[in-house]
Structure 1
Amino acid sequence: MVPDHLYADVCDFIENTHLGARVVYYRIKQRQNYFPISPESDSLLSKVEIKPDSEHYQWLQSQLQQRFDYSCCEHLDDFRRSEKALSLQGQIKSGRFRHEKDDRHNIQDKSRYVLGWSNREKIDLLSARLDNLEQQQKALKTELSQFKNEKDRLISQSRNALNLADFNFTFSQINWPYYSDKVAQLQLEKQTLESASDVLKNLQQALQEHQQKFKDNEAALNRHYSEKGATETEIASDENSLNENKSLFESLPETARTDTFVSLDAIYKQHIKPTQIRVNMLHNLSIQLRSKVNENISNLEAKRTRKLNQMISAMGEFASAFPNEVTELDKSAEALPEYQQLLKQLTDEDFPRHEGRFKEMLNRDTIRAMALFRSHLDRQDESIAARIRLINQSLHELDYQAGTYIEIDSISSADVDIRDFKVRLKQCVELSTDDNLYSEEKFERVKDLIEQMRNQPKWTEKVVDVRYWYLFNVVERYREDNSEKECYSDSGGKSGGQKEKLAYSILAAAILLQYGLLDNAKRRFNLVVIDEAFARGSKDSTRFGLELFEKLGLQLILVTPMQKLDVIENYVQNVHFVDQKNNRSMLLNMTIDAYREKLEQNKKLQQYARMLELQ
């Protein structure tokens, strides 16, 4: 039961929704004057009670009186005499002739009806039936699993039996106990012979002793070889070291030799306790002196590295504060002369004296440039809005369906990056609340925005492209009162024909805009070339597109791989067939009338050929 104020919404919903079931609904008009009658004692109406607080009480009572005023008959004599009656077994008599009885279900089945104003009893009954069916299902699954296991066992047993039947050997070939016993007898005979001979035992013992001595002598020989090789290697290393030191000593000038000995003597006196030196102590002393020298070198290297890091850090701070000045300079020790030259230039030209005026000019020019940048984006925004208005103007003149037209509706994009960019751009150019209109804070905003645009090219490409600032929907409206019929936010859920009609309509409006035909200016030639024309669309959508272009007065060249010709031929005047043979293209031109004559002749020839085949 649907109230009158909800009728339109319910009707639309049921029409556009696949319910998967049967539904009947009634439109409840406003209450009218209604005078109920008192039902007879045996009437069905006397057995039905309507909930008193129902808002549709009068309508329900009226419908029951008009449609269900049946007599409840206990005896068939009363049933046959009544014009509208019900029997105890569910036979229904509606009029003098029509009788009906439905025995597809048990009349006492409580799951088929509801008594009272609550369906709890029916729900409990259905739940109990569901539980019973689920238990039966589990039992059947268990039984099925047992049968499957038994089936697998029988299949395996059958397969083994078949494999056993494939043996083609004699019994002597597969009589393994015989061969096993024979091997055991031979091994026992061997052990008996070995235990009975003393000479054999003595020879085996002597053989083991000589083998052990041989292994010991071989190990001693390998050890002596290793010691000899190590000694020879040590001697060769000492000789190489001596020759290298001699060559190094002889290559030094006389003064360097003296200075070297003086330095070594000072290091020796500083780190080595005075004692008598022997030859075998020179190696250890050289190691100690080398360790002390390396320690001094490490300390000096650490100091140099620390100073180098401080210098590179200072270069980084300078580059961060003044990026435009160091675009061609590296942050490395090799670039130190260039930084020193830059410092000398700043000092000689006395740049700090002009810092205030330079900063004021930089702030003003920067803000002015940002204002021009924003004005450029606003002009693009206005251009898109103007084009949308022109396209909507042309779409208004085109019939999308009988009595409707479509228009493009643009809404601001909800993208977080775009909204943040527009807010930041506005903050960069709007007036400040203090007296300093071009404050340091605003300049920092401009600086941050420009640096992000420079460092994030993909982000910049998205936010400065005004086309991404909007989302576009297509709204279908009634031409009579311009009310909205349907809004297409995307093509999801639409049929192929609906998608193509949308695409053709918007394409036609864009062509009108491109040719400048929106001001009703007539031109003699407005050419449109469509490749792979209507290759995937339906015939209805193809017909819609061709009629649309015909209404707009556009001249078409349609390139198609022999598809939709039965539709296209009604909208063209000439056809051109292209074929390729022997790497040469051939073109056949004819009017549409000549094409139809050729087509009719071909049909007649085919019919004549089929007749000859039948004869």
Structure 2
Amino acid sequence: DVGDRRYWVLGFDNREKLALYRKQAQELADKISDLEERIKALTEQEGARAKRAIHCQTLVNLQWQEVDVAPLLTGIDKLERRIRDALEGNTELKNVADQIERQKKVVKDADGALRKTTIDYEKVVGKVDEHEETLKNLQDDPTIVPLTPRQQQGLDERFDALRDPVRLDNLDSLIRTVERSINQEIGEINRSMSECERFIEKRFDKFVHDWPAEAEGLDATLAAAPDFFAKLTRLETDGLPAHEQRFFELLESQSHQNLAALSTYLSDARKEILERMDLVNDSLAQVPFNQSTNQTTFLQIDPSDRQLPDVREFKQEIQQALSHAWSEDRELAESRFLALRRLVERLSSQEPENKRWRQAVLDVRQHMEFIGRETDESGVEVEVYRSGSGKSGGQRQKLATTCLAAALRYQLGGNEHGVPMYAPVVLDEAFDKADNEFTALAMNIFKNFGFQMIVATPLKSVMTLEPFIGGACFIDISDRRISGVLMIEYDSEQQHLKLPAHTHQEASIEIS
């Protein structure tokens, strides 16, 4: 039957089919129980019917004399009178009769006692069977874990220490008493363990706080206890007190060397900046900054120290540490070590404030201030440029362009060559928002320093750039997908592109 789910194949999972079988089994068990009840009722009815049939048969077979009790009662009465007459006339028989009555009473009492004792015995046997069944179920219970000898000994001691002896009737109450005692001890032990855990974690946290370098990667939790104990074992086996003298020797030599190296680095970096500025100034001295009919001026860059408070304090700390480098005083060495550690921790910190401080004290470029001084041919100072303050936009642009060209000139070949070792300078979107005066000024600056300019610029700057170029090409892009290049000839004598006249006119109109 395709509708019978019992014969369905369910692939790799038969849980639904098993549930169906269990449901059917429960339904069949209910039917069987109902049928057994009906069979029992029918059996009882059949027994009652059979008893009635027997009684009926017995009544059918009875004779009248069997049910006529009057003659029998009369005969019994006659016999009783004869017995009384015999007993009254015979003392011995009367005594025997009295003894018989007494014995009957004794037998009756003994029979009652026997029945009571039998009932009590059967009750005791029932309780014994019940306890044996309970004991067997407990012994066969798989959830009960067998006790170890130590656990068994501990439980025996606890039950022996109780005030009442262990009996079957008070066993449950004694078990509850022992359980309460055990639970109280467990609670006290857990509280003690929690206090110990907090104490240990506080010690771990203090170690992490006091020795962050040694505790790097460790958490102040019990899970990291093996790592902490491994460090403790290493500290105990290393024998640090035996190496104390070696520690002070390294503190004197290594810290002195490292601090001296750091101080030398700062001094050399400052010296290098000054030397580089001398070379840049040599480059600036070769090219006029401003030219007119009456005067020719040159630009020089004068570096000076900014005297920053953080830098001054940092250098003072280094000098103070170096001044006590060779002292034999152990207390002074300890305090010097703590000062060095604070300095190293601040230098290695990743906090934003410390990172800003580290950048400020180690970047020597930020320690310097650069002032531009414009002088004439005789060395007389004409103008001072301090970060472009108070100057017009054109002056600031010219100053920045001149410094950029001089720096490039220094980086790309120094001053001993006629032209830079690498002369091309590529400018994309060149002079897009600059006016014609600044465009000509910038091109003159780069030309005077010997650079070859390759510029990509809009059409409006063509007229201004013509005197400075030796060739050009026009690039057009259609629909942002198709590009084309048109080469344009250059007239070197006239210094302008060979473009149609109307193109020059359009360019002139755009520039103007």
TM, length-normalised to structure 2? 0.58
Match of 2:439 in 1: 542
| Runs (5+) with no aligned partner, structure 1 | 1-244, 607-615
Offset at 1:450?
0.9
Which digits, 9 at most, give the CA deviation of each residue in 1:437-476, with x for residues without a partner? 9823322222111111111344323321211212333333
Offset at 1:571?
1.7
Say if 1:383 and 1:353 are closer, same or farther in 2 by CA, change over 3 A.
Answer: same
Instruction: Say which SS state the counterpart of residue 499 (structure 2) adopts.
Output: helix
Which digits, 9 at most, give the CA deviation of each residue in 1:489-529, with x for residues without a partner? 345x4332122111111112112211234235456862222
Match of 2:345 in 1: 451
Say if 1:474 and 1:467 are closer, same or farther in 2 by CA, change over 3 A.
Answer: same
Q: Which has the larger radius of gyration?
A: 2
RMSD, matched Cα: 4.4
Say if 1:523 and 1:302 are closer, same or farther in 2 by CA, change over 3 A.
Answer: closer
TM, length-normalised to structure 1? 0.49
Say if 1:297 and 1:575 are closer, same or farther in 2 by CA, change over 3 A.
Answer: same
CA contact (8 A) 1:497 1:537 kept: no
**2:385 aligned to which of 487, 491, 507:** 487
Match of 2:143 in 1: 251
Match of 2:453 in 1: 556
CA contact (8 A) 2:488 2:497 kept: no
Match of 2:77 in 1: none
CA contact (8 A) 1:249 1:257 kept: no
Q: Which aligned pairs between 1:200-215 and structure 2 lie closer than 5 A?
A: none
**1:572 aligned to which of 446, 450, 469:** 469
Match of 1:470 in 2: 368
Offset at 1:538?
1.7
Offset at 1:605?
12
Q: Distance in 2 between matches of 1:591 and 1:293?
A: 106
Match of 2:501 in 1: 600
Q: Which aligned pairs between 1:230-241 and structure 2 lie closer than 5 A?
A: none
Which digits, 9 at most, give the CA deviation of each residue in 1:214-256, with x for residues without a partner? xxxxxxxxxxxxxxxxxxxxxxxxxxxxxxx989976214647
CA contact (8 A) 1:576 1:588 kept: yes
Instruction: Say which SS state the counterpart of residue 467 (structure 1) adopts.
Output: helix
1:374 and 2:267 matched: no
Which digits, 9 at most, give the CA deviation of each residue in 1:332-364, with x for residues without a partner? 323333444444444445443222223322442
Q: How many residues align?
A: 359
1:419 and 2:320 matched: no
1:410 and 2:269 matched: no
Amino acid in the other structure paired with 1:426: Q
CA contact (8 A) 1:478 1:485 kept: no
| Runs (5+) with no aligned partner, structure 2 | 1-136, 508-512
Offset at 1:574?
0.7
**2:254 aligned to which of 361, 365, 370:** 365
CA contact (8 A) 1:367 1:443 kept: no
Q: Distance in 2 between matches of 1:605 and 1:367?
A: 73
Q: Identity percentage over the alignment?
A: 24
Offset at 1:557?
0.9
Say if 1:255 and 1:505 are closer, same or farther in 2 by CA, change over 3 A.
Answer: closer
1:389 and 2:278 matched: yes
CA contact (8 A) 1:525 1:555 kept: no
Instruction: Say which SS state the counterpart of residue 225 (structure 2) adopts.
Output: helix
Amino acid in the other structure paired with 2:278: R
Instruction: Say which SS state the counterpart of residue 303 (structure 2) adopts.
Output: strand
Instruction: Say which SS state the counterpart of residue 288 (structure 2) adopts.
Output: coil
Amino acid in the other structure paired with 2:298: Y
Q: Which aligned pairs between 1:282-301 and structure 2 lie closer than 5 A?
A: 295-301=184-190
Say if 1:248 and 1:290 are closer, same or farther in 2 by CA, change over 3 A.
Answer: farther
Say if 1:252 and 1:494 are closer, same or farther in 2 by CA, change over 3 A.
Answer: same
Offset at 1:307?
2.2
Q: Which aligned pairs between 1:30-429 and structure 2 lie closer than 5 A?
A: 251-253=143-145, 255=147, 266=158, 295-319=184-208, 323-327=212-216, 329-348=218-237, 350-402=239-291, 403=295, 404-429=297-322
Say if 1:400 and 1:291 are closer, same or farther in 2 by CA, change over 3 A.
Answer: farther
Which digits, 9 at most, give the CA deviation of each residue in 1:181-236, with x for residues without a partner? xxxxxxxxxxxxxxxxxxxxxxxxxxxxxxxxxxxxxxxxxxxxxxxxxxxxxxxx
Match of 1:175 in 2: none
Amino acid in the other structure paired with 2:333: S
CA contact (8 A) 2:489 2:498 kept: no
